[in-house]
Amino acid sequence: MAEQDAIWALGCMSGTSMDGVDAAMVLTDGVEVFEFGATGFRPYSVADKQIIAAAQGQWPGDEGVLKAEEVVRAAHQHLISRFSGVALVGFHGQTLAHDPDGARTHQVGDGGALARAIGLPVAWDFRSQDVKAGGQGAPLAPFYHFALARRFALGGVCFLNLGGVGNLTFVDPEAKTPDQDQALLAFDTGPANALMDDFIHARTGLACDYGGAMAALGQADDTIVNGFMRHPYFDKHPPKSLDRNEFIGLVDAVKHLSDVDGLATLAAASVASITRAITELPRQPVKVLVCGGGRKNTHLMALLRQDLPMPVEDIDKAGMDGDMLEAQAFAYLAVRVKNRQSLSAPGTTGAPKPMSGGRISQPR
């Protein structure tokens, strides 16, 4: 394939932080990334967040799922209407529950209904085929990370996404394709922003600890952090993935702490899980490029720079958009769905072989 085969795809992402919908356009043939296009964000209202939060952990047919689906579809429809020149939409939906060990995952959002509403073809349901085959179904951004590493000539780097949950991708600079054996190793590291956001919102009503300012004033409880790191998840070999609520015990453990000490402890736990994850990589990366909202938490970034043995850099400084990387990834993956290319591999989700997947709904 080449640039003449490329199309403008619009990727949409509603992540575990549940703050809203990101959307970003990418010109791609599903192999190379040729141009980055317009981006946008549509925040969820307080009422929207409450409806989605109430449906967390629910499966199709459970109470509250239909309301959450309506909120998610309406938000996407509103945001997509701002864009023009779109040939294909990548629609991830909103993850409500993730149980790969039980061979199931639930991203609420009907791509067929969205396609009819916006009058454009929609690629969606990216994860279920991987999970049915025995994979974790997550993370899915690594194939896009591979394309970025090629575009920006990055050798031996690690992408670290700090969304609600943390995940990382190690890219072998010598690999030719993302589904080549050992080209990528990717997995969820542990909690990133979700538990800190939930904690401070419950205490103060704030959406988050802006810039990590409150956490920087606190003292982490090392006993709680050490207990957290004994969770069985950290003894599993990657690839592996998490549900947003996997570490609910950590939330209970910090309930007795002050606001600042609770946040400091949750931040320290996130960094401890990332530090542990780095030791699972096949070799030490030359640098860690951080994307997602967590890179704006100055305290979290300072802890990472203190505890990791390699440079830790905001991905924006490398010429990429750290806010829109995951939305861009689903634009890229949408084109791969269209072309019937693989979306995952044994090194990214633990699937038994490189897996294609997803489905495309037409607007008619």
Q: Which of 201, 189, 141 is nearest to 165 (CA)?
A: 189
Q: Phi, psi at residue 88, to the nearest 5°?
A: -155, 140
CATH level 3 topology of 3-138+324-361: Nucleotidyltransferase; domain 5 (3.30.420)
Residue-wise pLDDT tens digits, 136-173:
999 999 999 999 999 999 989 999 999 989 999 999 98
Averaged pLDDT score across all residues of the chain: 95
- The pLDDT value recorded for residue 242 is 87
Residue 145, burial from CB neighbour count under 10 angstroms (0-12, 13-18, 19+): buried
The two tokens of residue 141 are 């951004």
Q: How many residues does the chain have?
A: 364
Q: Residue 225's CB: how many other CB atoms inside 10 A?
A: 22
CA distance 38 to 102: 38
Question: Is the pLDDT score of 14 beyond 70?
Answer: yes
Q: Which of 49, 72, 54 is nearest to 64 (CA)?
A: 54
Question: Is the pLDDT score of 201 beyond 90?
Answer: yes
- The pLDDT value recorded for residue 3 is 80
- Give the N- to C-terminal CA distance of the chain in Å, as an integer: 28
CA distance 74 to 127: 22
Domains 3-138+324-361 and 153-318 share a fold: yes
Q: Phi, psi at residue 90, to the nearest 5°?
A: -100, 115
Question: Is the pLDDT score of 230 beyond 90?
Answer: yes
Q: Assign residue 208 a region: left if phi > 0, alpha if psi is -120 to 50, beta otherwise?
A: beta
Residue whose structure tokens are 């090194």: 347
Name residue 208's amino acid: C
In order of 34, 78, 95, 266, the CA distances from 58 in angstroms are: 39, 25, 10, 25
SS3 145: helix
Q: Which CATH code fits 153-318? A: 3.30.420.40
Render 34-64 in DSSP notation, one character per residue: EEEEEEEEEEPPHHHHHHHHHTTT--TTSTT
Question: Is the pLDDT score of 243 beyond 90?
Answer: no
Residue-wise pLDDT tens digits, 337-353:
999 999 999 999 999 99
- The pLDDT value recorded for residue 231 is 96
Question: Is the pLDDT score of 199 beyond 80?
Answer: yes
SS3 296: helix
Residue-wise pLDDT tens digits, 33-48:
999 999 999 999 999 9
DSSP helix, strand, coil percent of the chain (3-state; round to 5) = 40, 20, 40
CA distance 239 to 232: 14
CA distance 338 to 206: 41
- What are the domain boundaries of the chain? 3-138+324-361, 153-318
Question: Is the pLDDT score of 1 beyond 70?
Answer: no
Q: Phi, psi at residue 156, to the nearest 5°?
A: 65, 40
Q: Are 139 and 166 in contact (CB under 8 A)?
A: no
Residue-wise pLDDT tens digits, 96-140:
999 988 999 999 999 999 999 999 999 999 999 999 999 999 999
Name residue 145's amino acid: H
